[in-house]
Structure 1
Amino acid sequence: MNYQFKITPKEDLDLVIALVYELDEAKISIENLTSRFNEMITQNYECAGVYVNGKLIGISGLWYCTRHYAGKSVELDHVYIMPEYRNKGLGKEFMDWIQTYVKVKGCQSTELNTYVQNYPSHKFYYNEGYEIWGYHFYKNI
């Protein structure tokens, strides 16, 4: 297959939202996702995409910031590859591409969150060299 990794153009936001909807266990409505993504793209956010023959089949949000403990950093968010493309080494290639891309942008580290019950992702990220440094706490207000 002909894979390509690139930053997804903002005009293709609806394609990103469709994949995030598949990832999201809470099933936030498409309308809410669209509203939130329209706001996100005005902030320090980009979306990296995996394309096969021109079709978007995988994504990772990239949130840029400077952290006191890590310097310039990027947080990977809503990382998703369509199930039929998994377990073929594509995720590793995607992570390698992201790391190269964000290094060029001056990032010194990457971070991410993954759901506690998503055991396959834990194994994947351990194999990619990630370490657990803490807990992610959330409070709806």
Structure 2
Amino acid sequence: MGTTFHPVHTLVGIIILQKSIVYITAGNNNSLDSLENLFIRAGFDTSTFDEPKQILKSLQAQSPSCILIEAQGTETPIVELIKTIRSHSATVPIVIAGKNCRLCDAVDALRAGASDYVEAPIVDRVLIESVEKAISDSQLIQTA
């Protein structure tokens, strides 16, 4: 797979291509490393966070193309985390990777503002496509 870029519209109407960056947080270091390597191989830039709340501090300095949260092992309830991220950045897409989830958890996450919920067992291709679609949909909304 090649490098993943997304268009950025400037104030004067010029479109530039910017490399897509995915913020990733997971419940343990093995999952975090695995997800980071997956997205790097797919052509994304990544920033990883041991704790989901660390993302909030980083959002003040830089807006990612997408946020990927592995739901397993997070101390903060997913719905609360999504709402908090939404209060800091209303437009950044959020994809949840869930393990051992109940249907109502996925529905609650989507209602709180997640772009997608990918349930385990997670297939790499499906997760990458979900993030790519979330980024693409977000760009369509921003240009409308």
The structure with more strand, counted as a fraction of residues: 1
TM-score > 0.5, shorter chain as reference: no
TM-score computed with the length of structure 2 as normaliser: 0.33
TM-score, normalised relative to structure 1: 0.34
Bigger helix share? 2
